[in-house]
């Protein structure tokens, strides 16, 4: 069965790993994971000074593997000043058009993540972003938009922050926008721009409440989600594996296979892709890779597989990817 990964990363080079070495590493891991096609996500500016370099590297990767590799570029946010945004909406549209001209296959948006939403200094539904969303609707350009984070990352939440997330700058105090506020702002955008060709990664951090997740997908028929861990998604579904399996089967045309492989100069392991595949395919325990720093250490080292039928797997693994990329 063909497998297309909608959510991977590449680079940056380090003192110990050149771009060519990382290229061979990521390509080798995709081959060993039996992944036929994959999309590289390039986060944009707004605090990332290397965004243009990373985009150039990703497009170089695509040139080496035409027809197999896709690139989602990020906005550069050049000259951004939250205190003076007159005319900046048009600048963001110009940056989007530049990404299209450079050969990007989609747009990666990261400014829904709490730290970047804080740095943005305006709400996600602010009028300065309206021209961008209008252009995305008009062109049907594919968008993968990271919004919020797991609810337990907020300090005010009574649930403990997972061990693997603590110390990575992913815990949020009262100086950050609240989980509920970020989600409410995003909901306004979805309602105003119902034709966005949109995938929300990490299950949109809805795995704790599958009833609410189903209601969300029913409200927004143009929006899909991906399976890139956030390993809390797998653990949450394990507590209600029968309901989770029913959810995945019912919404199998709205879920895309994604892994987040390749983060931070490929510090995420080869086993990550096999873990997600095992979660979708197997019946019984699936182990969390002990050497993946974005999922371990944790007190929970395994979860239950969903044992999905072949028809659902085919949609999640490849068919939905093709529909999303093609618009």
Encode pLDDT of 3-48 as tens digits.
999 999 998 888 788 999 999 999 999 999 999 999 999 988 886 7
pLDDT at 193: 98
Helical packing angle, 51-64 and 88-102, nearest 10°: 30
pLDDT category at 157 given cuts 50, 70, 90 is low
Judge whether 138 and 105 are in contact, CB under 8 Å: no
Three-state secondary structure call for residue 131: helix
Cα torsion 160, 161, 167, 172 to 10°: value is -110
Q: Is the per-residue pLDDT at 156 higher than 70?
A: no
Judge whether 223 and 200 are in contact, CB under 8 Å: yes
Distance in angstroms (rounded) separating the CA atoms of residues 304 and 36: 26
Encode pLDDT of 222-281 as tens digits.
999 999 998 999 999 999 999 999 999 999 999 999 999 988 877 776 799 999 999 999
Three-state secondary structure call for residue 145: strand
pLDDT at 287: 94
Residue 188: CA atoms inside 13 Å, Cβ hemisphere, count? 12
Convert 87-127 into a string of H (helix), E (strand) and C (coil): CHHHHHHHHHHHHHHHCCCEEEEEEECHHHHHHHCCCCCCH
Q: Is the per-residue pLDDT at 122 higher than 80?
A: yes
Judge whether 260 and 110 are in contact, CB under 8 Å: no
Three-state secondary structure call for residue 42: coil
Distance in angstroms (rounded) separating the CA atoms of residues 61 and 65: 6
Indicate the pTM of the whole model. 0.95
Output the DSSP codes for 175-238.
Answer: TSPPHHHHHHHHHHHHHH-TT--EEESGGGG-TT-HHHHHHHHHH-TTEEEE----THHHHHHH
Question: Average pLDDT, stretch 146-173?
Answer: 83
pLDDT at 39: 98
Buried b (16+ CB within 10 A) or exposed e, 166-176: eeeebbbeeeb
pLDDT category at 158 given cuts 50, 70, 90 is low
Distance in angstroms (rounded) separating the CA atoms of residues 68 and 318: 12
pLDDT at 181: 97
> Which of 82-96, 121-135, 145-159, 168-182 has the lowest average pLDDT?
145-159
Cα of first residue to Cα of last residue in the chain, in angstroms, is 23
Nearest Cα residue to 198 out of 313, 92, 108, 130: 108
pLDDT at 285: 95
Sign of CA dihedral 229, 162, 9, 216: positive
pLDDT at 293: 87
Question: Average pLDDT, stretch 310-316?
Answer: 98
pLDDT at 266: 76
* 310 Ramachandran zone, left/alpha/beta (phi>0; psi -120 to 50): alpha
**Structural domain boundaries in the chain:** 4-326
Q: Is the per-residue pLDDT at 284 higher than 80?
A: yes
Judge whether 298 and 320 are in contact, CB under 8 Å: no
CATH of 4-326, one of 3.40.50.300, 3.20.20.140, 3.40.1410.10, 3.30.2230.10: 3.20.20.140
Nearest Cα residue to 186 out of 131, 133, 141, 236: 133
Q: Is the per-residue pLDDT at 75 higher than 90?
A: yes
């Amino acid at each position: 069965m063909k497998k297309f990964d909608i959510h991977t990363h590449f680079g940056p080079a380090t003192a110990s790993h050149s771009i060519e070495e990382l290229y061979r590493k990521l390509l080798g891991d995709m081959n060993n994971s039996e992944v036929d096609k994959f999309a590289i996500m390039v986060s944009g500016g707004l605090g990332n000074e290397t965004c243009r370099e990373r985009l150039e590297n990703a497009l170089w990767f695509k040139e080496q593997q035409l027809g197999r590799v896709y690139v989602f570029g990020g906005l550069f946010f050049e000259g951004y000043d939250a205190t003076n945004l007159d005319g900046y909406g048009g600048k963001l549209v110009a940056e989007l058009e530049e990404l299209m001209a450079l050969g990007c296959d989609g747009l990666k948006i990261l400014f829904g993540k709490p730290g970047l939403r804080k740095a943005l200094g305006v709400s996600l539904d602010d009028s300065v972003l309206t021209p961008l969303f209008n252009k995305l609707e008009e062109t049907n350009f594919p968008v993968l938009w990271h919004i919020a984070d797991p609810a337990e990352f907020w300090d005010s939440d009574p649930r403990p922050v997972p061990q693997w997330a603590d110390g990575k700058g992913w815990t949020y105090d009262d100086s950050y926008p609240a989980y509920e506020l970020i989600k409410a702002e995003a909901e306004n955008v979805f309602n105003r721009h119902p034709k966005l060709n949109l995938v929300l990664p990490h299950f949109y951090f809805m795995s704790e409440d599958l009833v609410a997740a189903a209601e969300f997908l029913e409200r927004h028929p143009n929006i899909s989600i991906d399976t890139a861990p956030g390993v809390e998604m797998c653990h949450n579904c394990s507590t209600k594996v029968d309901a989770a399996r029913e959810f995945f089967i019912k919404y199998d045309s709205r879920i895309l296979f994604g892994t987040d492989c390749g983060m931070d100069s490929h510090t995420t392991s080869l086993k990550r892709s096999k873990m997600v595949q095992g979660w979708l395919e197997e019946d019984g325990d699936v182990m969390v890779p002990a050497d993946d720093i974005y999922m371990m250490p944790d007190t929970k080292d395994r979860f239950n597989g969903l044992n999905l039928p072949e028809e659902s797997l085919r949609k999640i693994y490849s068919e939905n990817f093709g529909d999303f990329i093609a618009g």
